[in-house]
Amino acid sequence: MNKILEVRNLSKIYGPGCPQCLDSTGPESDTNLCPHCRSVVAIHGVSFDLFEGEILGVMGESGSGKSTVVKALYFDQAPSGGEAIFYDSPANAPEGKHDKQHNLFALNSAQQRWLRNHRFGMVYQNPNLGLNFNISAGGNIAERLLMSDLMDYGAIRERAKALLERTEVLLSRVDDLPKDFSGGMQQRVQIAKALATQPPLLFLDEVTTGLDLSVQARILDLILEIQQELKTAMVVVTHDLGVIRLLTGRAIVMKYGRVIETGLTDQILEDPQHAYTQRLVASAL
């Protein structure tokens, strides 16, 4: 299997930072707030690999830094340090538009935007972040297609409809505003939008949190189907062990900004090594 993403020593510190920040925070210190300079060490030393078509889980409680990881990779927030290499598959990338290998944080903002629009997709917990509520569901998908220079109205419309159909949004609602949709439907539109450019890499940040259980199950099914059909690699961020169990093959566990355990999902859930993971798994039973 080919590697699609390689993350090394990713870190993000909010605040001025000081020489004692790293030693004074993390799971041992039981905080991510530096007592010396009041900076928040949101993540530090996060490293992992992701392979084509694979789903990797990032789990942890709120404040563990798990969302910060995907926000940094999707260029929503610039990290304070670390490196990430995206290995684009030449088969998927449009002619002349790929370097094959992108050192994500060394790119300029235009290059980052290009990758974001063409090669990555993101589904946020809060649909407000992923969707423009003032334009129609179809318009939201059109926006992403227009970013990748598709300029034929008819073709854009057909593609938007096909995507909404694939994500099981009623076609009669293609021209309605997402703010009038239910939470589950909003997530489906977000997924359709993220998939519009057929990206090889998708980030999912707590996508089922706050939805009814039956709605959750159908969204998770949809994500699995898409992964099987399109072979999209995904990083799934969640605090929900059920989501981790259902979707992911491998997982990393985070606490106070650091990775404390990493391995095959089955292994982590059946035989957790770290005391914190053991408590997490036990509490979910």
Partner 1 sequence: MNAMNHTTTAYNFGFLDEYAKKEVRRAILKAIAIPGYQVPYASREMPMGRGFGTGGLQLTLSLIGPDEVVKIIDQGSDDSVNAVNLRQFIEMTCPGISTTTRTTECTLIQSRHRIPERPLTATQIIILQVPYPDPLVVVEPSEDKRKTMHGEADYSRLLVKLYEDIVKFDEITISHRYPTRINGHYVIDPSPIPRWDVPKLHDSAALILFGAGREKKIYAVPPHTKAEPLAFSDVPFRVEDFRDAAGQRRACARCGSKDSFLDEFVSDSGSKTYQCSDSDWCDGQLLRAAQAQGEPA
Partner 2 sequence: MSYVAIKGGGCAIAGAAAVTEYLRTEQGLAGGAGGPLQIEAILHQLRHLVDRVVSEGGVYHPQFAALAIKQSLGDTLEAAFALRAWRSTRPRLTATPPLDTSRMRLIRRISSAFKEIPGGQMLGPTQDYALRLLRLELMDESPEAFRAMARTWLESCPEARLPDTFPKVLDALRMEGLLPPITATLGETPFDITREPLIFPVARSAALATMSRAETGSLLAIAYSNMRGYGDVHPTVAELRVGYLPVLLPHPVTGELTEAGEVLMTECEVVAMFEPAVAGGKPVFTIGYGACFGHNEVKAISMAILDRALQKGMQDGPANPSEDPEFVLLHVDGVDSMGFASHYKMPHYVTFQSDLDRLRTTQQKSGDLA
Output the smallest distance, CB 157 to partner 2, in A: 17
Question: Of the listed pieces 86-94, 128-136, 178-186, 189-197, which binds partner 1 according to CB under 8 A?
Answer: 128-136
Taking the C-alpha atoms of residue 249 and residue 246, their distance in angstroms, rounded to an integer, is: 9
Q: Is 113 in the site for partner 1 (CB under 8 A)?
A: yes
Closer Cβ to partner 2, 68 or 227, answer by number: 68
Output the smallest distance, CB 20 to partner 2, in A: 10
Question: At residue 238, what are phi and psi to the nearest 5 degrees?
Answer: -160, 155
Output the smallest distance, CB 38 to partner 2, in A: 7
Residue 152 interface partner, choices partner 1, partner 2, none, CB cut-off 5-8 Å depending on type: partner 1
Question: Of the listed pieces 142-150, 184-192, 216-224, 228-236, which binds partner 1 according to CB under 8 A?
Answer: 142-150
DSSP per-residue letters across 130-152: HS-TTS-HHHHHHHHHHHTT---
Burial tier of 3 (Cβ tally within 10 Å: 0-12, 13-18, 19+)? middle
Q: Is 153 in the site for partner 1 (CB under 8 A)?
A: yes
Burial tier of 230 (Cβ tally within 10 Å: 0-12, 13-18, 19+)? middle
Residues 18, 135, 215, 222: which binds partner 1 (CB under 8 A)? Answer: 135
The conformation of residue 85, written as its DSSP 8-state character, comes to: E
Determine the residue type at 66.
K
Output the smallest distance, CB 132 to partner 1, in A: 8
Q: What sign has the CA pseudo-torsion 238, 242, 247, 250? A: positive
Q: Which residues bind partner 1 (CB under 8 A)?
A: 109-110, 113, 117, 132, 135-136, 138-139, 142-144, 146-147, 151-156, 175
